[in-house]
Chain A
């Protein structure tokens, strides 16, 4: 045996200086570098694709914009090209929906679940660093990293989709694109990470924790998209509006003489004489039901969120997701701190 040197051990260690926070940087990196590399690879590949596809979109849009006169066949061909990239972009956006939850589940769920599953928490939580500080350091470092990466990716997506929004036919509130922008993409990724961390702490096993994260996050994202988002601000209402395609129409109804008319009443009016009788006479005259209703004293109303509210909505969604994530991370740390082994 080597001669063991007897170390100096001051007996008055009551006012111990804790182990510096920065020493968790290496620990976190070493333990989670595979997960972080996975996140980097996923976002990297997608970013390269967005960059290449984005160049196409931008070129096609520039060509349409530069073409005169707009009604010439050559210009219509260019517009067709642009519309092709548009369809591809829609499909891409639909696929990107799952990216935040993949990052969050695979980076967040194992942080505590793996320690608890393999028993290594009995090593990690009895070191001098202290277990709640260990948890704080890990979760904060990883959360900030994945959220920052996701935010950068969201900014790239905004650039990619820029021409399509600029054309004005697509509302930036559309459920497949609203959550892919810089603020929301980062926020949804952060939320998935926080859900994963807490699920890992509660379930204590990696694979079930990942599955739970996927389920909970998806439920939250769908609920937010379908039910919550349109209520962030009271929608505007306008009669006989002439709205641009970038506005988000959240409701539509008719009034007659200042009183609301039910949907079934409208259907009856339209099914009554005018449209069908004309059809029966073989006259191929198209009757616009909206015009028809307007002529008969019905007023059309729409509730909508104007495109000018886009960034407000981004920050509202980013804000509540950030608050939720902080709450979940705080709950996780609290559980670690008071958990009975």
Chain B
């Protein structure tokens, strides 16, 4: 399994503000990696480091198997759609295609034109006159037509309505399936990632809290429900998050389906959204490769 994005003990500081602290991360290829976290957690900084728009204060970032981030070889293989899909508003769609073709070694013009035709985006219209959804789709088309190995999307759906979001994600998934493009995308809207993301990176307050295959993460966490006054029976470590509602408590714990469940308690599989929320609400909790304690016993 090749590693597409590798962060080695990366710290990023803007003046006296820490954007990222001691981040070590290896995102495998062939995945749709979802980068989630609250606003201001460091998601954009992490993506900027990946595409070479920012340089780490300490540590190193390599992409596409050892190429320094931001180097010509790295830029060649990575297409980036920044937040709000910045385009030259006074340029026509055709001019944006021409410009992207001029600025890159590869550009699949027939693909781009066919795709825009299907989306009903006229080539002669000014980019600034397109709707938010069309601008996002144009930016995605420009990125895909570069035939990148890695597509990096920063909050691509922030300015889209629900239908446009759905269409946009469908486009990304199609490109992944048809073209073998790996994707890293950030979002703070979990619902749209639930079914498509197969790798999860959770960032909070400048630190990577969770990183791993979605499948593994879901398999190594369970939700236990039981009497609220019995929650004290559980050790601190495996419990990620505890929520009490009336007499019932709901625990997110690190446990596999085979782990024993105490009497009076019920175990349920966890959904991605609940998993993420659980970790976000507990700033101290972490689930990284090597620090996972999924196999530990739950009940004392």
Contact = CB atoms under 8 A, between A and B. Distances in A.
A340 B14 contact: yes
B75 A127 contact: yes
Interface in A92-137: 118-131, 134
Contact of A13 (B76, B79, B111): B76
A2 interface: yes
Given A30-B95, A123-B82, A16 B105 contact: yes
A212 to B, nearest CB: 22
B52 interface: yes
Given A4-B174, A6-B179, A127-B100, A122 B86 contact: yes
Interface residues of B, number: 48
Contacts of A123: 80, 82, 86-88, 139
B104 interface: yes
A68 interface: no
B22 to A, nearest CB: 18
Interface string B118-144: 100000000000000000000100000
Interface in B142-192: 146-147, 149, 171, 174-175, 178-180
A45 interface: no
Contacts of B83: 122
Nearest to A125: B53
Which of B83, B104, B139, B146 has the most A CB atoms < 10 Å from its CB?
A: B104
A76 to B, nearest CB: 59
A303 B283 CA distance: 78
B86 A30 contact: no
A6 B53 contact: no
Contact of B103 (A9, A14, A19, A340): A19
B299 interface: no
Chain A contact residues (Cβ within 8 angstroms of B): what range? 35 or more
Nearest to B108: A7
A19 B105 CA distance: 6
B51 to A, nearest CB: 5
Nearest to B115: A2
Contacts of A338: 55
B48 interface: yes
A124 B89 CA distance: 13
Contacts of A1: 115, 118, 171, 174, 178
Contacts of A124: 103
Q: Of A3, A7, A134, which is in contact with the most chain B CB atoms at under 10 Å from its CB? A: A7
Given A16-B76, A31-B88, A341-B48, A129 B103 contact: yes
B247 to A, nearest CB: 51
Interface in A1-36: 1-7, 9, 13-14, 16-19, 23-24, 26-27, 30-31
B230 to A, nearest CB: 51
Contacts of A13: 73, 76-77
B93 interface: no
Nearest to B80: A126
A27 B103 contact: yes
Nearest to A18: B72
A108 to B, nearest CB: 19
A16 B174 contact: no
Interface in B22-78: 48, 51-55, 67, 72-73, 75-78
Contact of B80 (A18, A24, A122): A122
A4 B72 contact: no
A126 B74 CA distance: 10
Interface string A320-341: 0000000000000000001011
Nearest to B90: A34
Interface in A24-55: 24, 26-27, 30-31
Nearest to B78: A126
A118 B114 CA distance: 29
B244 to A, nearest CB: 43
B53 A122 contact: yes
Given A9-B147, A126-B52, A127-B104, A30 B98 contact: yes
Given A16-B105, A127-B104, A6 B75 contact: no
B72 A16 contact: yes
Contacts of A127: 75, 100, 103-104, 146
A306 to B, nearest CB: 53
A30 B103 CA distance: 13
Which of A14, A19, A124 has the most C-beta atoms of chain B within 10 angstroms of its own C-beta? Answer: A19
Contacts of B77: 13
Given A127-B103, A338-B55, A2 B75 contact: no
B249 interface: no
B78 A340 contact: no
Nearest to B67: A14
Given A126-B52, A127-B75, A341-B53, 12 more contacts: A4-B111, A6-B180, A7-B106, A16-B73, A122-B82, A123-B139, A126-B79, A128-B105, A130-B75, A340-B14, A340-B54, A341-B54
14 contacts: A3-B178, A4-B111, A4-B175, A6-B178, A7-B106, A7-B179, A16-B105, A17-B105, A19-B102, A19-B104, A30-B95, A121-B86, A126-B53, A340-B55
